[in-house]
Structure 1
Amino acid sequence: MRILLLSAYDAESHIYWRKGLIEHLPEYEWTVLSLPGRYFSWRMRGNSLSWAFAERELLEQQYDLVIATSMTDLSALRGFIPNLGQIPTLVYFHENQFAYPSSGKEFKSVEPCILNLYTALAGDYCLFNSEYNRRTLLEGASALLGKMPDHVPAGITDRIASRSAVVPVPLKDDSYLPSKPESNRVHLVWNHRWEFDKNPQLLLDAIRLLLKKTDRFTLHVVGQQFRKVPPQFTELSELLDQYPGCKGEWGYMASRQAYQALLQKADIVLSTADHDYQGIAVLEGAAAGAFPVVPDRLAYQELFPVECRYTESDQANEMAEKLGQLIEKKLDNGFELPSVDVSQLSWTVLADKYREVIEAIMKRGAP
């Protein structure tokens, strides 16, 4: 069976998912089209144009199924390439634009949200990586449709809801590693994109408060960086430099082997995110034995027990308090920090679920 996989904004998390999909479902014949994860606004609106007139021969071949990410302008692409409209299509939502936080600097437009809505409706079935992702799209679409002045068709969000399910992005097989913590210090890892939606200000504020309690920790701040780096990272680096031993790995780690070794050493993996639909970075830390300390919001409410989460009311102070208590428990009381079982997110568990969905859609049925 031949599957056409379309990744219209091929960011790191999308690459992570599509490579895993192809590796763990080798019984299908895969054809992949992807576009680089940059120039977001142009890519979102232009991907159908780019593909329809540069890849027409490939798109007009015969396939048994199309799998498209939610960034794909699927309704326009099916209009440009009519035969695609005759092929069963699955849409995978890594995120949705309805719940994406605003930086206050972007041009305000409903275009990204409308594209998500049209793509969800153009597909035969939709998968979401978390219930939070699914719920916020349905709520956001309902609110947007409520603003239309007239001629609003009934049952749009019900249609999407009835043809959708949650199947997370599985963790790589090599994510599951034995924990190897050190005994004399507590290692904290913050391992996210260095962008505003990961809330670096909260990280800075919490570490500043934590340093008033203890300096018996090493903070590693690693992750993908872009041309414009939020100034909080410079402030945090300079702050940690004042405390010997508190600053660990800093910046992007090109070697996955080195990155995994760091996660094995970590006692705690942190998130301060305002935007995470699944949180692969924290999940990989948990898979290597680190204890997650995450906000009580987003998909984290589905993934981690309440003892891992800090509340919304006074985030920096509560995060610092939680970290201080964990450091004290380990170093003063010999308490082994607990791990959280994330084995249910492995490819071993989830590969058959993907097969089940794919087979059902290829037969023009719903799973």
Structure 2
Amino acid sequence: MNGSVLAFEPWDAGSHRAVRRSITRHGRMDWRFLTRPGRSPRWRLRHAALSFAEETHADPIAGAGGEPPLAHDRVAAAFATGMLSLADLRAAMPGSLRNRPFILSMHENQAAYPVSGDVSELTRDRDAHLAFTNLASMEAADRIVWNSHWNLESFLEGMSASMRHAPEPVGDDWAGRIRAKSTVVAPPIEVSEIDDAMVLRNPPAARYRDDPRHDRPPTLVAWPHRWEHDKGCDELLQLADEAARREVDGGPAIRWVILGHRPQDPPEAMKTLLRRHGKRIAHAGEADRSDYLGWLAGCDWVLSTARHEFFGMAVAEALFAGCLPWLPSRLAYPELVPEDALNLNPWDRPSEGTITALRPRIRNRLERARAEVAVDQLETVVMETIESMRT
């Protein structure tokens, strides 16, 4: 394909940054990303589009990260993630770019994002406004890429509920229009990095397992999530309490590997978890990438208690690393693993024969998320969108 993809990432942190890096690493197309740091999400959703549009009025557009400038006539398509208003971006860009194909990538959606129970009614109204920003972005896009069917369906369901509170009807066709231009592509996961961690014998987990202070071999369970209310911290605490009781009665010696970002003021459930079960926690908090993958590769299970999960990249990484799934049959998890791999737990551990047969089935189910495969699928969508607008 001649030309470049002018891409906008307003939330260049966490899984958003991981996806961007995989696209630039494995993509065959010429991707030119403009980015903003991952902070102040409400401001990003409303402000980033105008900020980015300002940059595009220069011709050529200044290159980022040492890349050469990009002339307007070299732009074949525009690509943006859902943490901005694509409607504002397209409207505010110069006319020479506005008629290019615009692809919107929905990493998450605001209509299904759970709101903490202690927020004000004003904040709830503002969050509903962000969901309508998502809707306007989708109406302005030529193609919408979702990371899971759950993400798409939860948005449509959440927006339908919000529409009932609108002072005037928007019309009956909005959901059909979104479905017609939507497709699902898994986010790219760098499986080769995970495989390397498994070959390197999982140093952090191995050191913990070999600690002579253990009365018996521990069962390591990874919880790879942000320490936030929407990740089900209360349920994690309940399970840790149950694990401690069962251990006294002869159950497995479950030890917790708590990964993910730890905010300055964690939820009360996490504070209680650290205080009550500190001796049963092998690790708590963020780790550098090498140790993070080492922990995943050394754990026996991966647990999710999330109230929302639009795909579950951290869970998928753990599954690629060989962890058994301790996952509920909700959210995006039925798309990640076979049906008989849902609702398992360490107390009712499957037989070794079942586990041996299950792991390759899970890995095969996740093959579409392997970085090389996922980026190729994404670029196919971009090229198809470009071609469809030429005819």
TM superposition score category, shorter chain reference = 0.7 to 0.9
1:40–1:352 CA distance, 2 compared to 1 (3 A): closer
CA 1:145–1:217 in 2, change beyond 3 Å: closer, same or farther? closer
Per the TM alignment, residue 164 of structure 1 is displaced from its structure 2 partner at its CA by: 0.6
Among candidates 286, 296, 320, match of residue 287 of structure 1: 320
Tell me if structure 1 keeps the 8 A contact 2:304–2:326.
yes
SS at match of 2:186: coil
Paired position in structure 1 for 2:162 = 144
SS at 2:246 equivalent: coil
Change in Cα spacing, 1:337 to 1:261, as seen in structure 2 (3 Å) is: farther
Once the two structures are superposed, the pairs formed by residues 123-162 of structure 1 within 5 Å of their partners are: 123-150=141-168, 152-162=170-180
In the superposition, the TM-score normalised over structure 2's length comes to 0.82
Choose from 255, 259, 268 the match for 1:222: 259
Matched residues in 2 for 1:360 and 1:334: separation? 41
Which residue pairs with 2:42 in the alignment?
41
Between the aligned partners of 1:150 and 1:233, the Cα distance in structure 2 is 43
Partners of 2:16 and 2:354 in 1: CA distance: 40
Going from structure 1 to structure 2, the CA distance change for 1:32 and 1:334 (only over 3 Å counts) comes to closer
Normalised to the residue count of structure 1, the TM-score between the two structures is 0.87
Matched, 1:351 2:375: yes
Counterpart of 1:108, as a letter, is: R
Whether contact under 8 Å (2:56, 2:94) holds in the other structure is no
Residue 7 of structure 1 aligns to which amino acid in structure 2?
Answer: E
Q: How much does 1:147 deviate?
A: 3.4
- Secondary structure of the residue aligned to 2:104 is strand
Give the residue type in structure 2 aligned to 1:238.
R
Matched, 1:79 2:91: yes
Task: Report which stretch shifted further, 343-352 or 269-278.
Answer: 343-352
CA distance in 2, matches of 1:151, 1:222: 44
Q: Which structure features the higher share of helix residues?
A: 2
Q: Give 1:43 deviation, angstroms.
A: 1.6
Amino acid at match of 1:88: P
What SS does structure 1 have at the residue aligned with 2:47?
helix
Q: Secondary structure at the match of 1:213?
A: helix
Change in Cα spacing, 1:275 to 1:11, as seen in structure 2 (3 Å) is farther
Residue among 281, 293, 303 paired with 1:247: 281
Q: Percent identity?
A: 28
2:346 equivalent in structure 1? 323
In structure 2, stretches of 5+ residues that fail to align are: 63-70, 210-215
- Contact 1:210/1:323 (<8 A) preserved: no
| CA shift in 2, pair 1:329/1:363, >3 Å | closer
The 3-state SS of whatever aligns with 2:384 is helix
| Residue 15 of structure 1: aligned partner | 17
The answer on whether the counterparts of 1:175 and 1:284 sit within 8 Å (CA) in structure 2 is no
1:363 is paired with a residue of what secondary structure? helix
* Structure 1 unaligned blocks of 5 or more: 311-318
| Aligned: 1:68 with 2:80 | yes
Alpha carbons of structure 1 residues 271 and 171: separation in structure 2 relative to 1, 3 Å: same
Change (3 A) 1:43 1:334: closer
Q: Is 2:211 the counterpart of 1:198?
A: no
